[in-house]
Amino acid sequence: MAAANGSSDLSSEMEVDAFRRLFPLRYHEHHLLKSVRPDARKLGSARDTTLALGAVASADGSALAKIGSTTMLAAIKMEVMTPTVECPDEGSIAIEFHMPPICSPLVRPGRPAEAASVISKQLSDTILSSGMIDLKELCLVGGKAAWMAYLDIYCLDADGALFDTALLSAVAAFSHLNIPVVSLNDDGRIVLVSEDTVRLKLEKEPVNTEKRKLKLNSLPFSLTCILHKNYILADPTAEEEPIMETIVTVVLDSSHQLVSLNKPGGPVLSHTSVIQDCIGLARRRAKELQSVLNEAISDMEVGLKCDDYTIHSC
């Protein structure tokens, strides 16, 4: 009897899975009628989010961000450059978003993913327009030397809301960033100073005497929502995104001021109240992400104190 029940349950599960694959929209709409999603989330709830700073030891700043299964690895490398004539007292930031084939079965080897260049541009526009980084902070010697921050973000698992997770990893990587020590060499050029050299007496005074954190102003956080009929679903999965009607991404700064709102295509929205509802969800989400970031920074600081204690004890 137990075996018969087990066989019946398995058959029922297979039928549900087949219906989900053949008629994904009807499957999801069935859940929407109950104001719940297939993963048991409420419509306006985001997935569990985790953040780890210092994920790449060889980078000057790095972070690993996860929203649900969507996973991003961000790493920053600092290099000295000659500033432009137009902005002699400013550094620069170059952002590249990568989608290797391992992140999704939709990404084919040897073919760059179409979404990668779009998200790269969106990230650059967001970070620069948000005012998070004052490019003058990256200046070393006016008109002669400034920092170029190369930010590379690798998508390790693409399960929806890629931009949200990529932006979170970028903000976290800049929060973790330690700007290297540099000095003038005999030719008057700015050169990086290794940690071993810092311990020794330099012939010339370093331009910056120790590694320093980059001052960050307003931190941008985003929330992507999908709109379907009268429903608003926050933080969509890769299964939900392609079958719903409209996607809207809201970016707010840490003061909850609107930085940008992106709606790539889809039908015209008939009510502005829908956008207001998305912004309201984004405000709540920004508080959650700020809390996640603060916790990750605290965990990193505790880890550094423990390392220092271990070294001095030895």
Q: What is the pLDDT of residue 314?
A: 45
Q: What is the pLDDT of residue 135?
A: 95
Using a pLDDT cut of 70, give the percent of the chain over it: 83
Using the predicted structure, report yes or no on whether residue 195 has a pLDDT greater than 60: no
The residue that leads in pLDDT, 306 or 40, is: 40
3-state secondary structure 229-273: CCEEEECCCCCCHHHCCEEEEEEECCCCCEEEEECCCCCCCCCHH
Q: Which CATH architecture has domain 41-177+214-312?
A: 2-Layer Sandwich (3.30)
The residue that leads in pLDDT, 14 or 163, is: 163
Q: What is the pLDDT of residue 11?
A: 62
Q: Which range is least confidently modeled, 36-40, 54-58, 133-137, 178-182?
A: 178-182
169, 185 contact by CB (below 8 A)? no
Q: What is the pLDDT of residue 23?
A: 84
What are the C-alpha distances in Å from 41 to residues 68, 160, 188? 11, 15, 60
Using the predicted structure, report yes or no on whether residue 1 has a pLDDT greater than 50: no
Could you tell me the pLDDT band of residue 309, with boundaries at 50, 70 and 90?
Answer: very low
Could you tell me the pLDDT band of residue 267, with boundaries at 50, 70 and 90?
Answer: confident
For 57-107, what is each residue's pLDDT tens digit? 999 999 999 999 999 999 999 999 999 999 999 999 999 999 999 999 989
Q: Which helix (H) or strand (E) holds 9?
A: helix 2-22
Mean pLDDT of 203-226: 79
Q: What is the pLDDT of residue 308?
A: 52
Instruction: Give the domain ranges of the chain.
Output: 41-177+214-312
Which tokens belong to 100?
Answer: 């290797």
Using the predicted structure, report yes or no on whether residue 158 has a pLDDT greater than 90: yes
The DSSP 8-state label assigned to residue 216 in this structure reads B
Write down the pTM of the prediction. Answer: 0.87
Q: What is the pLDDT of residue 303?
A: 65
Q: Which helix (H) or strand (E) holds 200?
A: none
Q: What is the pLDDT of residue 4?
A: 47
Q: Which range is least confidently modeled, 59-68, 182-191, 268-277?
A: 182-191
For 32-53, what is each residue's pLDDT tens digit? 889 999 999 999 999 999 999 9
